[in-house]
Chain A
Amino acid sequence: MDTKQLYQEVILDHNKKPRNYGALENANRRAEGHNPLCGDHIILSVRVEDERIENLAFQGEGCAICKASASMMTAYVKGKTLQEADQMVQEFREMATGKLNVAHQPHHLGRLTVFAGVRDLPARVKCAILPWHTLHAAFSNEHVASTEGADEPMKAIVGNV
């Protein structure tokens, strides 16, 4: 894959102007994601009402792939039920690790498929997945999510934020 395909305008735009950036005052779920290898760090605050994501926001530092992934994720999962959002987490993971072919298999990822190309850059898969893993951690009350130490780059470390 051509890297330029991955760094499409939509990703560069979300990196420059991330949506839902900041902290949510009335959040009732919160999780922090780390990628110790590159220093990516995402803090996610979520307001969940009746099993539905009312609102969410993220803060932190990261590369363009990570920030754009977080920004687009917040835009896409807002208003979804926890179950729907978790399904997207699963599908995004599978897309990024090359297990889900979004061109030929059914999915709910919409324009998030701009991240499909990351599967060809193994060193960057974790960058794209980190926000999604953090979202999953927020639902599961695992306060700290880390991408380190697993070849399926998803491993939660439970701890206090």
Chain B
Amino acid sequence: MDVDRIREDFPILQRRFHDKPLVYLDNAASSQMPKPVIDRLVRYQTQEHANVHRAVHHLSEIATAGYEGARRKVRQFLNAGDEREIIFTRGTTESINLVMHGYGRPFIGAGDEIILSAMEHHSNIVPWQMLCQEKGAKLRVIPMNDNGELLLDDYKKLFNERTKFVALAHVSNALGTINPVREMISIAHHHGVPVLLDGAQAAPHLTVDVQALDCDFYAFSGHKMYGPTGIGILYGKAALLEKMQPYQGGGDMILSVTFERTTYNTIPYKFEAGTPPIAAAIGLGAAIDYVAAIGLDRIAAYEEELLNYATAQLSALSGVRLIGTAHHKAAVLSFEIDGIHPHDIGTILNEDGIAIRAGHHCAQPVMQRFGVPATARASFAFYNSFEEVDALVAGIKNVQRMFS
């Protein structure tokens, strides 16, 4: 893969901070946008903007075609069987909340159990906790080993007749672990339990085939996969979506309203209340075109090389400990440096133009599991180079020198 060529597509990567080139290693929080996506947004805003599904005028037709075209692209991207199974939301978090409200509230009750993993992001814990508080249901947590791998035997033992739902990260944002979701879904289905995958960290890095996975719900965000913020996806099996309650009322989710009753629209519109994020959806469509043109297989292969290189480099540094050393990992490196708080690491690396994340990464239970208040996290995208890994290593040595 010609990374130098690819980097030219990302204008922000040309920026300099503190008179040094930007080394952007915070992709798990938000990735950068390539020029084709930016150009597509500009074209929409300058030439095509109108509300969708409403008017008979020409602009509205163009905007609607763009918006629904993006839905088609997402369907292909996930290999969903039907466009009606693709719902536009504001992000992964809203997608999960939609499932909690639409499926959880009507179908999960007192004494029922929901299985989560020990490595979930807060946004795949808190909605389920809220549901438990409301309904008197209970969370059961799949434990993990010291490498950050889920214990499948323990997972199997969590199932019983009260188990009603499984919500699981496809890839952990704090540890990089790629979970064996296909096997885990099949175990859940054996017990007749539906599974939601939080794919926020997977969709930008791996080929996702919702039919092959047989997941019931799949959630991800545009801004972590080279698209705009404010757009997310919820894939759901049509049969489940049909049974679910709408999440919010108003706008496109309605077929007809009287003061006596409202008839809801069909899926997916039943779940798209109000004016949707039209520009962001079109931008996400352009991002999908962009990554598809490179090929997710090639992206995954390159990122794996980069991760292996970075892992070897950081492991060789004395006083540096990697947190999350699963056998099967995506491009995330969480680490600690002896005696130096991650916040200090982040601030000093910033001086070298290196952007990493320091904190609990909205996964406090993971931090508790590994007994640390926070970690420093470098997360990679396919536009990151081997030289940037070297810059990170030099930066870490610099931090250590300063604190020695």
Chain A residues close to B by CB (< 8 Å): 2-4, 6-7, 12, 15, 37-41, 61-66, 121, 123-124, 127
Contact B344 A64 (CB under 8 A): yes
Most buried by A among B341, B346, B374, B402: B341
Other A-B pairs, 5, CB within 8 Å; known A12-B402, A124-B343? A3-B348, A6-B347, A15-B403, A38-B359, A63-B344
Contact A65 B350 (CB under 8 A): no
Contacts of A39 in B (CB 8 A): 359-360, 367, 373-374
Given the complex of chains A and B, what is the CA–CA distance between A62 and B339 in angstroms? Answer: 11
Select A3's contact among B340, B350, B360, B367, beta carbons within 8 Å. B350
Given the complex of chains A and B, what is the CA–CA distance between A127 and B360 in angstroms? Answer: 15
Given the complex of chains A and B, what is the CA–CA distance between A41 and B347 in angstroms? Answer: 19
Most buried by B among A7, A12, A62, A65: A7
Contacts of B360 in A (CB 8 A): 37-39
Select A63's contact among B343, B350, B402, beta carbons within 8 Å. B343
Number of A-B contacts (CB under 8 A): 52
Given the complex of chains A and B, what is the CA–CA distance between A38 and B347 in angstroms? Answer: 13
Q: B342 interface residue, CB < 8 Å from A?
A: yes
Q: B390 interface residue, CB < 8 Å from A?
A: no
Contacts of A63 in B (CB 8 A): 341-344
Closest 7 CB pairs of A and B: A39-B373, A63-B341, A63-B343, A3-B351, A64-B344, A39-B374, A63-B344
Select A41's contact among B344, B348, B373, beta carbons within 8 Å. B373
> Could you list 6 A-B pairs, sorted by A, with CB under 8 Å?
A3-B350, A12-B402, A39-B359, A63-B342, A64-B340, A65-B343
- Assuming the A-B contacts A38-B374, A39-B367, A64-B403, are A2 and B341 also in contact, with contact meaning beta carbons closer than 8 angstroms in the complex? no
Contact B351 A127 (CB under 8 A): no
**What is the chain A residue whose CB lies nearest that of B375?**
A39
Contact A121 B347 (CB under 8 A): yes
Select A124's contact among B347, B373, B403, beta carbons within 8 Å. B347
Contacts of B374 in A (CB 8 A): 38-39
- Assuming the A-B contacts A37-B359, A39-B360, are A64 and B351 also in contact, with contact meaning beta carbons closer than 8 angstroms in the complex? no
Q: Return A70 CB to nearest CB of chain B, in Å.
A: 13
Given the complex of chains A and B, what is the CA–CA distance between A131 and B130 in angstroms? Answer: 33
**What is the chain A residue whose CB lies nearest that of B372?**
A39
Select B351's contact among A2, A37, A65, beta carbons within 8 Å. A2
Contact A12 B367 (CB under 8 A): no
Select A38's contact among B343, B350, B402, B403, beta carbons within 8 Å. B343
Given the complex of chains A and B, what is the CA–CA distance between A121 and B351 in angstroms? Answer: 11
Contacts of B402 in A (CB 8 A): 4, 7, 12
Given the complex of chains A and B, what is the CA–CA distance between A39 and B359 in angstroms? Answer: 8
Q: Return A11 CB to nearest CB of chain B, in Å.
A: 10
Q: B310 interface residue, CB < 8 Å from A?
A: no
Given the complex of chains A and B, what is the CA–CA distance between A4 and B352 in angstroms? Answer: 11
Contacts of B344 in A (CB 8 A): 7, 63-65
Contact B341 A64 (CB under 8 A): yes
Chain B residues 329 to 356 lying within 8 A of chain A, measured CB to CB, are: 340-344, 346-348, 350-351
Q: Return B98 CB to nearest CB of chain A, in Å.
A: 26
Chain B residues 22 to 77 lying within 8 A of chain A, measured CB to CB, are: none
Contact B347 A3 (CB under 8 A): yes
Most buried by B among A7, A12, A39, A62: A39
Select B403's contact among A2, A12, A37, A62, beta carbons within 8 Å. A12
Contacts of A6 in B (CB 8 A): 347
Given the complex of chains A and B, what is the CA–CA distance between A2 and B403 in angstroms? Answer: 16
Contacts of B342 in A (CB 8 A): 38, 63
Contacts of B367 in A (CB 8 A): 39
Q: Return B99 CB to nearest CB of chain A, in Å.
A: 26
Given the complex of chains A and B, what is the CA–CA distance between A123 and B358 in angstroms? Answer: 11
Contacts of A64 in B (CB 8 A): 340-341, 344, 403
**What is the chain A residue whose CB lies nearest that of B360?**
A39
Contacts of B403 in A (CB 8 A): 12, 15, 64
Given the complex of chains A and B, what is the CA–CA distance between A110 and B358 in angstroms? Answer: 31
Q: Return B348 CB to nearest CB of chain A, in Å.
A: 6
Contact A62 B351 (CB under 8 A): no
Given the complex of chains A and B, what is the CA–CA distance between A3 and B341 in angstroms? Answer: 15
**What is the chain A residue whose CB lies nearest that of B350?**
A3
Given the complex of chains A and B, what is the CA–CA distance between A129 and B343 in angstroms? Answer: 15
Contacts of B346 in A (CB 8 A): 123
Given the complex of chains A and B, what is the CA–CA distance between A6 and B315 in angstroms? Answer: 29
Q: Return B397 CB to nearest CB of chain A, in Å.
A: 15
Contact B347 A62 (CB under 8 A): no
**What is the chain A residue whose CB lies nearest that of B362?**
A37
Contacts of B340 in A (CB 8 A): 64
**What is the chain B residue whose CB lies nearest that of A60?**
B373
Given the complex of chains A and B, what is the CA–CA distance between A41 and B343 in angstroms? Answer: 13
Contact A4 B347 (CB under 8 A): no
Given the complex of chains A and B, what is the CA–CA distance between A123 and B348 in angstroms? Answer: 13
Chain B residues 349 to 404 lying within 8 A of chain A, measured CB to CB, are: 350-351, 358-360, 367, 373-374, 402-403
